[in-house]
Each structure stands twice: as structure tokens, then as C-alpha cells.
Structure 1
Amino acid sequence: MMARKPQRRREFGSVRQTESGRFQARYWAPDGKRRYAPKTFETKTEATTWLALTQADIERKHWTDPDAGAVNFEDFARKWVNERGLAATTEDLYTRLLTRHIAPTFGTWDLDEIQPADVRVWRAERLKATNGAKTTVAKSYRLLKAILQTAVDDDLLKSNPCRIKGAGKEEADERDVAEVEQVYALAEAIGPRWRIMIFLGAFASLRPEELAELRRSDIDVDEGVVWIRRAAPELTNGKKVIGDPKSRAGKRAVYLPDFLVPELRRHLQWFAEKEPDGLLIVGERGAALRRSSFGRKWRKARIAVGLPDNFRFYDLRHTGNTLAADSGAKLKDLMVRAGQSSPKAQLIYQHSKKKHQRKLAKSIDAEVRQQRQEAAEQLQAEERKHSG
């Protein structure tokens, strides 16, 4: 009986010459399938070298399925957003950035088609298209990078093509700070019903979404304090989402300068809903605050006062923050008052005491009264000069 010839061990890969004269490399992949190099080679040596590098990647467990990245980017990105369990406002932001700034370029591409050079070109084009809106482009870049990093983690890509150093860092332009007299002029221009929003935005550092959900039960006029417990931001589609403030630090007690207390009393008597838990801010017909309707009033008042077109209601917070900082307030007190949070600063400011906040409110009160008095004296001096 003849001895059976030993079975030949299957070779890792092979090289063959095609009819065109170029060389094709093929190999057995870890998934048991025969795979081919993504291109043919001019020489057999080049093809053999490619095989050796591929085999080394497999042995080091660096190999990825070359077809894994053939996944539509927009499908993957939309799924990425939906699976994150994000807050409604964050999901709204990501969806808006994806729709307006990322998908128009990469929406029809497969993941593995996006190369570092493509990302650089996309970013440069976004900066031009948005007239240098660096903050928006930085947010869009960070989102794109995060989505593609998940593709790397899922073994759909070998590496992340987002490699531009510092591209995700937000460097917002310096914002204008309204002077005290400009704040009062805005309050006069916007009318009696809405003036409390101007004052609370500027001198109490309240966000518009916090004002939208502020209620009688959140206000202690005798103590001169406003409790921020909820917020009602509006999404791009106009839907209001009532929930917690922007961050954990957003839940806070804001002590008011004394000059604001009469303004608040008057507003509660004249304009707020009468129920014990009624809204502080409602429109002429009793409807809750809406961004669109208030926005029209805000723009008219801003134009009347002569503030820049890019001056937002949100920028009023800078006035109160600046006044508080000029009064010598400590960083932790400033962050508590503004409801700001960050991983590094959280432990620093969360222990700010009630007496510090009350002192801070009194400092703002004194500074505003002084500036108002100086403005009145200057006006009187000018009137005497002209009359003389």
C-alpha cells in the first residue's frame, strides 16, 4: 500500500501576472475569504512586499476587513447621533451641524473614502462659506472627528482621517459688552412687559431658556433671590423642551441687586401669570415665551439703541459677569452666579456660600447705582452748559 502524500499546507498568499503585464497579489484573510490587493503592481517584488506587510499586519492583529469601511457616511452618522442618548438640545445641535455643514460634502461617501486631505479641503471650504465662523466650524470638525473615531473603534477604519491640530478648538470672537446705560436703554426700548427680561439677563446672568421657564414659585422677592430649577430651550423645529438647566451647575440661587427687586415686584403684579406656579414671562395674549416672537421685539430694541447686529440677548450675561468681576468677586462665585460648569472648575465653585452670593449682588447694585448717578450728573452738566 502506497503511503499517502503529506497534504501541502495552504500558503498565505500568491502573486500572478495579469494579461496587462502587471502583478496581482492575493491572500487568505483571517475571515477565511480570499482577498486581493486594492491595486495591481508594476513588479513582482512590489506585489510580494505588499503581501509580506499584509501578513505582518495580520500577525500583529492590525488587519481590518478592506470592505468594512464600505458604509455610507450619512447613514452611519445619523445612527451615531441617535444611539448616543443625548440631551434634546445637544441632539438638535449635532443634527443641525450634520445637516448643514457635514452631510452636504460627505453624505454620499463611504467611510473609507474619506481621507485626511478631504477633511482639510472640507474645513477650508466651511471657513469660507461661513465667513470665518470659527466656532461653528470647530464644532462641526469635532463632531466629524467623533463620528469617524467610532468607526475606527468599530474596526470599520484603520485610522481617523481628522488629524488637523487645533481644528476642534473653539476660538470665539470677542463679544461686545453692553454698558449699564445701554442695558437701561434696551429696557426702555423693548417696553414694560419685556424689560424684566433685559434686567434679569444683564444683571442676574440668566439665560433666555431659564427665563422662559421661570415661575412665581421660583422667586422670593423679600429675600431678593431667584431659584433656577428648570429651563425650556427651543429646538430648531420650534419645539420647546422643558427640563433641567444647561448643566448641573445651572440649578442655582441667584441673588439680585437691590435695584432689581422693585422691577421684579412690578412685573409680578402687572404681567406674570397669577397662579402660584404661574410663568413669570408671558406674551400680550398670555402665551409662553417663544424665541421667534421675542426675537422680533429684541431686534427692534437693539437697533433703536444702536448695538451691533451680532449682539445677542445671550450677550447681556457679559454685562453682569463683568460688573461682578470688577467688584472683586472670586472665580468660584462668578461661576455659581452664571451657572457655568466644567470638569476642572466644578469642585472649586460648588462650595460658594450664600453670603458670598449676597455680597456679590450688593456689589453689582452699588456699581450700577454709581454708573447711573454719574450718567445723570453728566447729562445735567451738559444741559446746564447748553442752557447757559
Structure 2
Amino acid sequence: MANKEGHRRFGSVRKLPSGRYQARYPGPDGQIRNAPETFARKSDADRYLTLVEAQIARHEWTDPTQAKIKLADYARRWIDQRPNLRPRTVHLYGWLLDKHIVPYLGGVELGRLDTPMVRDWRAELLGNGVSVSMAAKAYRLLRAVLMTAVKEDMILPRNPCRIPGADQEKPAERPVLTLAQVFKLADVVPPRYRALVLVTTFGCLRWGEVAALQRQDVDAVAGTIRVRQAYTEQRGVGLVLGPPKSRAGRRTITLPPAVVAVVRDHLAAEVDDNPEAFVFTTESGRPIWRGNLNKLIDWKANVSRIGQPNLHFHDLRHTGNTLAAQTGASTRDLMARMGHDSPQAALIYQHATAEADRAIAQALHEAVRADRKKTTKATGGKGKSGKKAGGKKGRKRPTDRDEAGGEQG
């Protein structure tokens, strides 16, 4: 018995030997596809094609065959197909995927993922002792992977990662050193690493950037350092020298004269004349690994001596960024010094630096008080109505609290 086909404006319906109906249609790429299931009635097949046609018109159509791909396979391919990722980022993504995503969701078909499933996954992570920050990193990776499935591959109609706040890390507040503490730390570490502490702090440098500085990158006359490369630590490979974290990472930074003098002494005592000699190394001349810093300079003991036992080396850059923001530098200038191509981090430091803002508020308050005093003298102590404050009806003179909701003075 020959199959019977029905002709329609979009797609086609044919009756199969089994008596059921099969719907076929051209996708946005022109490829003919079958509906994922057959239908008992021709009218049901027609309604399916009408729905598909509307989805294509609204750019909401998804490929039902691709939706059967397992999340683990799709995510690994997603990482492999991003050539611009730094090696350290590739390693991080792979680790997050294998540690926190694949064991829970790796075997799920993309088309079956939904928001309740993602919510349960995140709750299970947190319930198993995974920190909020680590769960947020895993969530952001999953969201990025699935966003590609939505926007580029048209596998999903919408991203199921729709949990408010799940992408926020909420890290603990990091310590910020005072200027006195910075120089005290530089004094208590071994002399070979005194300049390392000061350059990292006042240059706002990342670990990989300061570790990769060479003699040719330091201008001891102009007082500048040039950041043009950085070390990354790759598991199974070692230290790898490459470009900075971003395009904005390539920058020239001016150091305070007091720090330049220390750098000049360091170059004379510890660094070869070869332009390619690294500025900061171990006593044997090897590059410094982040992991062996504690052993080299007895980090834990020395940060305890300055009253900051929880200080990490990265907090030196954090301190430098904060000190730079306290000078009143513009967002663009902070971005350039910190090596960021986005204003987000600079704005965070500006918002966190409240001293300048309080000074502005106090200055405005003094200006308001001076203006009121001047007005009172000019009117002989009378208000706008021409009556003296605190007149016959006993109306009290408005205080600063009455007019601005704050304390006077």
C-alpha cells in the first residue's frame, strides 16, 4: 500500500503503513526534518506543523535532533571550540565541568534541561558543602554553555539558568593594608623580596605579571615598569610565559619615587645586566612559583607580624587598587592602571573608597551652614515671611535635622 501524502503550504503530512501520520518540514537551514514522533490523526500532524512554522517565524525554533545531545558532550565541545581562552581558563572550565557539573547533569539530554532541574543541581552542590563562590562559578559556566545552545545552535528555546543571584560569588571581604603596613611587610621579608612586595602593591600587579617582569621592562630613570607578558601555571606543564590576561593588561605603570629607589637598589644587587633577565627570582635564579612563596619568604609568619594573618599575596594588588582609588583618580585612569578593559572593577574600588565621598559631604554641609549664616545676617535674623525665627507663637528655628533629616554640625 502506497504512502499517502497531504500537500500544504508549509511542510507535508503523509500516512504511514501503520496508519499513523508523519509530519515533515524544512528547517531554517533548508534541511528536511521529521517530527520527533508520529501522530494518530492527520489534524494533529497539521497542528504540529503550524506550531513549527510559527516558531521559525518568531526565531524560537529549536532543532529536536540536536536536543538529544548529552550535556557533558556538548559542554566539552563548547570548551574545545573557544580558541581565545587562556590555558588557565581552559583548565578551570574543565575542572568545574568534571567536578561540579558532569556528575550531576552530564548525562541529561539538552532538550530535557529545565530551570527546576538546574535549581535542584545548585541546591545539591551547596548541600554537599560546595561554597557559594564555587557554585556561582559552576553556574556561570553552565549558563554560558547553554546560552550558546540557545543563540547560536538553536537547540534550546530559552536558557534554563534563570535563578536570581546564583551567579553571584559573595566572597569574604579581603584585607586592605595601610601604607605603614605595606612598608612594614616590605621590611620584614628577606631583603631579596622587599622590592617584590612594593612593586606588586604600588604597581597594582597580578602575580603572573610581576613574576614575568624583565630588566628591559623597568625604566629606573623614568620610574616606570612595562607590563607586556605574564606567567600562568598549568597543571602538568609548569610555568608558561604568554601575553597578559587581556589587551588592557599591556600597560606602562609609573611607580612612586620611594618605590623606584628600592627597585633601583634591587636591580643593582639581584638582577643580571642582561635585558632579558627576570627581575624577581629565587636565589638560584629560577622563576618564582606562587605555591612556593610561603617557603621563600615565610609569608604566614611575616603577615602575622604586621597584624594581618589572613593576608594573601593577591591582597597586595587589592591594596594597591584601593590606594589608587583613594587618590580620586577617574574610572578610566584606574582601568588603565589596573589593566582592565571593563570599568566594573574600577567602579567597585571607587564605591568601596568612602573617605573622599565623606569629605565631599562634609564640605557641602559646611557650605550650606555658611550660606545660612550669611542669609540670617542679611535679613536680620528673619525668615522668608519677614518674621524673626522663634517669634510670638513660639515656632522653633528649624534645625539641620528638621530640614535634611540629619544631625546638625
Could you tell me how far apart the structure 1 residues matched to 2:223 and 2:304 are? 32
1:159 equivalent in structure 2: 158
Q: Secondary structure at the match of 2:225?
A: strand
Offset at residue 308 of structure 1 (A)? 4.5
Offset at residue 51 of structure 1 (A)? 4.8
For residues 22-41 of structure 1, the aligned pairs below 5 Å read: 27-30=22-25, 31=32, 33=34, 35-36=36-37
Deviations 1:168-206 (A, max 9, x none): 345444322122233233323431122222111112211
Could you tell me how far apart the structure 1 residues matched to 2:44 and 2:63 are? 16
The answer to whether the Cα contact below 8 Å between 1:232 and 1:241 also exists between their aligned partners in 2 is: yes
The TM-score normalised by the length of structure 2 is 0.69
Offset at residue 279 of structure 1 (A)? 0.3
Could you tell me how far apart the structure 2 residues matched to 1:284 and 1:73 are? 48
Alignment of 1:285 onto 2:258: no
Deviations 1:274-320 (A, max 9, x none): 422210011021111212212444344334444243x3211112322
The answer to whether the Cα contact below 8 Å between 1:88 and 1:241 also exists between their aligned partners in 2 is: no
Deviations 1:260-285 (A, max 9, x none): 12211221122224422210011021
Deviations 1:128-162 (A, max 9, x none): 4455433x333322221121122233233333221
Q: Secondary structure at the match of 2:253?
A: strand
Offset at residue 246 of structure 1 (A)? 1.6
1:142 equivalent in structure 2: 140
2:199 equivalent in structure 1: 200
For residues 1-388 of structure 1, the aligned pairs below 5 Å read: 9=6, 12=13, 27-30=22-25, 31=32, 33=34, 35-36=36-37, 51=45, 53-60=47-54, 61=56, 64-85=62-83, 86-129=85-128, 132-134=131-133, 136-152=134-150, 153-237=152-236, 239-296=238-295, 297-309=298-310, 311-342=311-342
The alpha-carbon distance between structure 1 residues 166 and 208, as it changes in their structure 2 partners (threshold 3 A), is same
Could you tell me how far apart the structure 1 residues matched to 2:42 and 2:167 are? 41
Q: Secondary structure at the match of 1:193?
A: helix
The TM-score normalised by the length of structure 1 is 0.73
Q: Which amino acid aligns with 1:263?
A: V
The answer to whether the Cα contact below 8 Å between 1:57 and 1:63 also exists between their aligned partners in 2 is: no
Offset at residue 209 of structure 1 (A)? 0.6
The answer to whether the Cα contact below 8 Å between 2:88 and 2:232 also exists between their aligned partners in 1 is: yes
Q: Secondary structure at the match of 1:242?
A: strand
Could you tell me how far apart the structure 1 residues matched to 2:246 and 2:112 are? 37
The answer to whether the Cα contact below 8 Å between 1:27 and 1:35 also exists between their aligned partners in 2 is: no
Could you tell me how far apart the structure 1 residues matched to 2:205 and 2:194 are? 14
Q: Give the gaps of 5 or more residues in structure 2.
A: 26-31, 347-409
Deviations 1:115-139 (A, max 9, x none): 21111112223344455433x3333
Q: Which amino acid aligns with 1:125?
A: E
The answer to whether the Cα contact below 8 Å between 1:26 and 1:36 also exists between their aligned partners in 2 is: no
Could you tell me how far apart the structure 1 residues matched to 2:254 and 2:158 are? 51
Could you tell me how far apart the structure 1 residues matched to 2:283 and 2:44 are? 74
Deviates more, 1:311-320 or 1:170-179: 170-179
Could you tell me how far apart the structure 2 residues matched to 1:302 and 1:128 are? 34
Offset at residue 34 of structure 1 (A)? 6.6
Deviations 1:300-356 (A, max 9, x none): 4334444243x321111232222233233233222222222217899xxxxxxxxxx
Could you tell me how far apart the structure 2 residues matched to 1:50 and 1:123 are? 38
The alpha-carbon distance between structure 1 residues 95 and 273, as it changes in their structure 2 partners (threshold 3 A), is farther
User: Size of the alignment, in residue pairs?
Assistant: 325
The answer to whether the Cα contact below 8 Å between 2:231 and 2:241 also exists between their aligned partners in 1 is: yes
Q: Secondary structure at the match of 1:109?
A: coil
Deviates more, 1:191-200 or 1:176-185: 176-185
Q: Which amino acid aligns with 1:29?
A: R
The answer to whether the Cα contact below 8 Å between 1:214 and 1:228 also exists between their aligned partners in 2 is: yes
Could you tell me how far apart the structure 1 residues matched to 2:291 and 2:308 are? 20
1:354 equivalent in structure 2: none
Offset at residue 12 of structure 1 (A)? 3.2
The answer to whether the Cα contact below 8 Å between 1:245 and 1:251 also exists between their aligned partners in 2 is: yes
Q: Percent of aligned pairs with the same residue?
A: 36
Q: Secondary structure at the match of 2:226?
A: strand
The alpha-carbon distance between structure 1 residues 32 and 129, as it changes in their structure 2 partners (threshold 3 A), is closer
Q: Secondary structure at the match of 1:226?
A: strand
The alpha-carbon distance between structure 1 residues 115 and 8, as it changes in their structure 2 partners (threshold 3 A), is closer
Q: Which amino acid aligns with 1:165?
A: P
1:366 equivalent in structure 2: none
Could you tell me how far apart the structure 2 residues matched to 1:334 and 1:77 are? 36
The alpha-carbon distance between structure 1 residues 67 and 223, as it changes in their structure 2 partners (threshold 3 A), is closer
Q: Which amino acid aligns with 2:50?
A: A
